[in-house]
Structure 1
Amino acid sequence: MTLAQGRQESSLAERLSAIDARIADAARLAGRDPAEITRIVVTKFHPASLVRDLHALGVREVGENRQQELTSKTGELEDLELRWHFIGQAQTNKASAIRRSADAVHSVDRDRLADALHRAAEGDDVLDVLVQVNLTADHGRGGVAPDDARSLAEHIMSLPSLRLRGVMAVAPLDEEPASAFARLHAIAESVREVEPAADWISAGMTGDFVEAISAGATHLRIGSAITGPRPDRG
């Protein structure tokens, strides 16, 4: 290992440790057990080698936004014990490729996507999925309208190769995160009326995970605060 590599790994370890300490503090402040919270490291645009470094530091939950990266990295890292979360917007024509690589899909926001993921099932394979909710007033953003989340949940429950695990959302930029996540919590309760076991709330990123934890988030999606700046793709 070169000196530069050693510094990079040390910095990665320090960032990971610092985020985990903040997560634990936020959980205790909210009266929650930190062990209830899953930290997903989002490695968008970073090489597979960084995921390997994260694995060496104990990371087992990894998130990807793009199908191409998910497919590439899972293929390159199939020797590692990792749980892959697909968290980006999904096209129906890529559902099969996503399903082959992902252990959980957080971004199911329409019946057609759920149907496409179901058709891509192989054998008795069951895929964990979440209803993505759009908390903004922009209908062009990813996610189902809050009033339609329960209906989508019911549709997912009709597809035997999908396991409904809960809800996912991103806080709007023009709203306090605490307010947005409180709304998501209420939607999550409605979804649990459809499936009591659907207790995941995927919410919270680097800038708002403290508020997400306070509102009951079970899964946090943390990127550059752990991985460092994304590589220049130019």
Structure 2
Amino acid sequence: MSLAERLALVTEGISDAATRAGRDEKDITMIVVTKFHPAQLVRDLYDLGVRDVGENRHQEAEAKAAELAELDLTWHFIGQLQSNKARAARKYASVVHSVDRSSLVTALGNAAFTPSGEPELNVVPVLDCFVQLNLTQDPARGGVQPADVVELAELVAAEPSLNLRGVMAVAPLEEEPRVAFARVRAASDRVRSVIPTATYISAGMSHDYAEAIAEGATHLRIGSAITGNGPVAG
């Protein structure tokens, strides 16, 4: 199956899932995750109409964004981000989906300004952010526990150069996806009760995006179902 065929198949699947959930597919953003794939794949996706791409690793994301700077792309960073990479990430990422601790909030906020307090010219002026939830008890997975999500969300909202869009999560493999995403939706409701504009939910991947849509996901992070399992050229 070609890249175009895989993209069409997932697009159709999203449309069908939205219809079943009584939702408008136009309210759902599909982010194509291109980790481990060459920049040429992103060019091919661009030619097919894709404008939102996601990366998990800073070094790879930084290099691809530089190589493809002439393309009108929205870069979503979706992996764990080290605080000392915050300034570099703000130079290419328009959205960070993985804000998971207070130190990263501070680093991302500070990255918008020079040491003298002037606006940094080479970074995205206002960075969209999602607070990442950890739906497991494993701290290595990244994210905050649902009980702590409002506190972290308030820290993001208090940073003038950050724009809190909502919450993000990965469904644990050992849990029924729909049940996991219901927990994400509940966390989103708690955040919105304090920050009404934080209406987005980043959830759902290649194998569970339909369940995520059923529970209100607005941003899907789709990788292998579109890109294939290994690096491809098209």
Q: TM-score range by the shorter chain?
A: over 0.9
Distance, in Å, in 1 between the alignment partners of 2:230 and 2:149 is 33
The answer to whether the Cα contact below 8 Å between 1:63 and 1:87 also exists between their aligned partners in 2 is yes
Choose the corresponding residue for 1:52, options 43, 48, 69.
Answer: 43
Matched residue count:
223
User: Could you state the TM-score of these two structures normalised by the residue count of structure 1?
Assistant: 0.93
1:191 aligns with 2:182: no
Deviates further, 72-81 or 190-199: 190-199
- What does 1:37-48 align with in structure 2 at a 5 Å threshold? 37-48=28-39
Return the letter of the residue paired with 2:93. Answer: A
Higher relative contact order, chain-length normalized (CA < 8 Å, sep 6+): 2
1:165 is matched with which residue?
A: 165
Q: SS of the counterpart of 1:71?
A: helix
Partner of 2:146: 146
Runs of 4+ aligned structure 1 residues displaced above 4 Å come to: none
CA contact (8 A) 1:40 1:220 kept: yes
Instruction: Please give the secondary structure, in 2, of the residue aligned with 1:129.
Output: strand
- Residue segments in structure 2 that go unaligned for 5+ positions in a row: 114-118
Q: Give me the whole-angstrom Cα distance separating, in 2, the residues matched to 1:139 and 1:72.
A: 29
CA deviations 1:126-159 (Å, max 9, x no partner) are: 1000000001121221101110000001111111
Given residue 76 of structure 1, which amino acid in structure 2 is its aligned partner?
A: E
Alignment gaps of 5+ in structure 1: 1-9
Matched, 1:136 2:139: no
Equivalent AA in structure 2 for residue 104 of structure 1: V
Partner of 1:221: 221
User: Counterpart of 1:33?
Assistant: 24
The structural deviation recorded for 1:113 is 0.3
- Aligned amino acid, residue 52 of structure 1: R
1:184-220 alpha-carbon deviations (Å, 9 max, x no partner): 0000011112221111100000110010000000000
Q: Supply the distance in 2 between the matched residues of 1:35 and 1:157 (Cα, whole angstroms).
A: 26
Q: Which residue does 1:208 correspond to in 2?
A: 208
Q: Which moved more, 1:100-109 or 1:122-131?
A: 122-131
Write the letter of the residue equivalent to 2:52: E
Task: Quote the RMSD (CA, aligned, Å).
Answer: 1.2
1:63-104 superposed Cα distances (whole Å, 9 cap, x missing partner): 000001111011000110100000000111111111111000
Of stretches 202-211 and 188-197 in structure 1, the one that deviates more from structure 2 is 188-197
**Pairwise mapping of residues 50-199 of structure 1 onto structure 2 (< 5 A)?**
50-122=41-113, 123=119, 125-199=125-199
SS of equivalent to 1:41: strand
Counterparts of 1:224 and 1:82, CA distance in 2: 20
Paired-residue identity, %: 61
The SS at the match of 2:140 is coil
Q: Is the 8 A contact 1:177 1:211 kept in 2?
A: yes
SS at match of 2:130: strand
Q: Secondary structure at the match of 1:107?
A: strand
TM-score, L = length of structure 2: 0.93
